[in-house]
Amino acid sequence: MDTVSANQFRGNLKTYVDQVVSRHEPMKATRRAGEAFVVMSAGTWEREQETYYVLQKKSLMAQIAASLLTHNKNSGYTPTDKQMSEIAGI
């Protein structure tokens, strides 16, 4: 994560906001008193919220763990050619 001073951020607001949005990476700005704030794109924030939601749900994490086990054993569900065609056509 890039870090800039709050004065630099304020002086180059458009440039830094464009950078945050295009790179999908948050930026940290620090103030003289040592306080800091982070700026991130709305898309990045939404993805973070989804991740936090999944991590907090034990049932979803159990499904992911079970899926990973079957994937690693190459024993999971294999769609038919017709199903793959339908999926690819979406």
CATH topology for the 2-40 domain: YefM-like fold (3.40.1620)
- What are the residue ranges spanned by the domains of the chain? 2-40, 42-75
Residue 76's pLDDT band (boundaries 50, 70, 90)?
confident
Residue 59 · residue 34 · CB < 8 Å: no
- Counting Cβ atoms within 10 Å, is residue 9 exposed (0-12), middle (13-18) or buried (19+)? buried
Is the whole-model pTM more than 0.75? no
pLDDT digits (tens, 9 = 90+) for 27-59: 999 999 989 999 999 999 999 999 999 999 999
Tokens representing 25? Answer: 């990476």
Of 26, 28, 24, the residue nearest 40 (C-alpha): 26
